[in-house]
Amino acid sequence: MPPAEIIDRIFTFEGTGELLGYGFVQSSLLAGALLALVAGALGPLVVARRVSFAVHGTSELTFTGAAAALLVSASWVSAGALIGAVTAALVFGLLGLRERERDSVIGVVLSFGLGLGGLFLWLYPGRSSNQLSLLFGQIVAIGRDDVWLLASAVLAVLVALALVWRPLLFASMDPEVALARGVPVRALSVVFACLVGVATGLAVPTVGALLVLALLITPAAAAAQLTANPVTAMLLATVFAEVAVIGGIILSLAPGAPISAYVTAIIFVIYLGSRWIGAVRHRSGARAASR
């Protein structure tokens, strides 16, 4: 295929307007916006706590939970995904408290969990490919009821985050002094694991494991290039995540291409731009300081 034709196929807006009128498209936009909201809020803490790999592990083990639930009943897949994600996040949160050990613990648990998931899938008598497009998500299959459910879960996560905000930020960014000041650092890391688990368990069946990582980590990493204010970083990360998700869904409509490709591309461009701005600023700041 000649390059021009590929570009045409990727970037077409023929019928986009019409598609935006459909209920299922609006539902998927709403779901995406809700997930971007929670990802933007949690992302800076994920980056500060250096638990990106744990989030990756959690999002993949969501698959194991969903596959186990599929053996019981197809209608249990979402619940299974949620339980799988929270369990995985708690295991990572509890076993990997010591930073030196963390990576290996995640690797061990992740490989075992994925193996189990494969076994569950093999045991499933029906065709499993439809129910388990988990790694890429099925945002177009979202109904109005799902959006309401998602909205209440996202609200619950945000409220919980607000309740523990100050000690969680302290424990995430300055753990040694936080511990000395009596902040329950260990308990908070369990709470944070739960929040990440819930957010991941909700997001994986909707946008897929790939996008969970892209939405939790890249916007936060981009925001950290632009500001040192933790609250501004969270707001910026949320804006970036929203732009990527909503932009990605809209761009993918007319071509009918996978959403994840557009979302990851947008967020990657935002990240590159932020790095560039950050580097320029850092350089001019250093020059000002040396004068």
Partner 1 sequence: MAPAGVTAGAAPVRARAPAVRLRAAGLCYGTRTLWDGLDLAVAPGEFLAVLGPNGSGKTSLLRVLLGLQPLTHGTVELAGRPARRGSRTVGYIPQQRALDPTVPLRGRDLVGFGLDGHRWGVGRASRRRRARVLEALEEVGATDYADAPVGRLSGGEQQRLRVAQALVGDPGVLLCDEPLLSLDLGHQRVVSELIDARRRAADTAVLFVTHEINPVLPMVDRVLYLVDGRHRIGAPDEVLTSAVLSELYGTEVDVLRVRDRLLVVGADEAAPAHCWGQA
User: Which spans of this chain sit near partner 1 (rule: CB under 8 A)?
Assistant: 44, 47-48, 162-167, 169-170, 173-174, 176-183, 221, 223-225, 227-230, 232-233, 282
State the nearest-atom distance from the C-beta of 112 to partner 1, in Å. 30
User: Considering beta carbons, is residue 9 or 282 the nearer one to partner 1?
Assistant: 282
State the nearest-atom distance from the C-beta of 177 to partner 1, in Å. 6
State the nearest-atom distance from the C-beta of 167 to partner 1, in Å. 6
- What does the CA dihedral 73, 77, 79, 82 come to, rounded to 10 degrees? 150
User: Considering beta carbons, is residue 164 or 190 the nearer one to partner 1?
Assistant: 164
User: Considering beta carbons, is residue 123 or 163 the nearer one to partner 1?
Assistant: 163
Which of 198, 180, 170 lies closest to 83 in space, CA to CA?
Answer: 198
State the nearest-atom distance from the C-beta of 192 to partner 1, in Å. 14
Q: At what angle do helices 185-216 and 259-290 cross, to 10 degrees?
A: 110
Q: What is the separation, in whole angstroms, between the first and last Cα of the chain?
A: 55
State the nearest-atom distance from the C-beta of 223 to partner 1, in Å. 7
User: Considering beta carbons, is residue 256 or 285 the nearer one to partner 1?
Assistant: 285
C-beta neighbour count of 144 within 10 angstroms: 12
DSSP-assigned letters across all residues of 193-236: HHHHHHHHHHHHHHHHHHHHHHHHTHHHHHHHHH-S-HHHHHHH
User: Considering beta carbons, is residue 163 or 269 the nearer one to partner 1?
Assistant: 163
**Is-contact 146 30, C-beta < 8 A?**
no
**Is-contact 161 168, C-beta < 8 A?**
yes
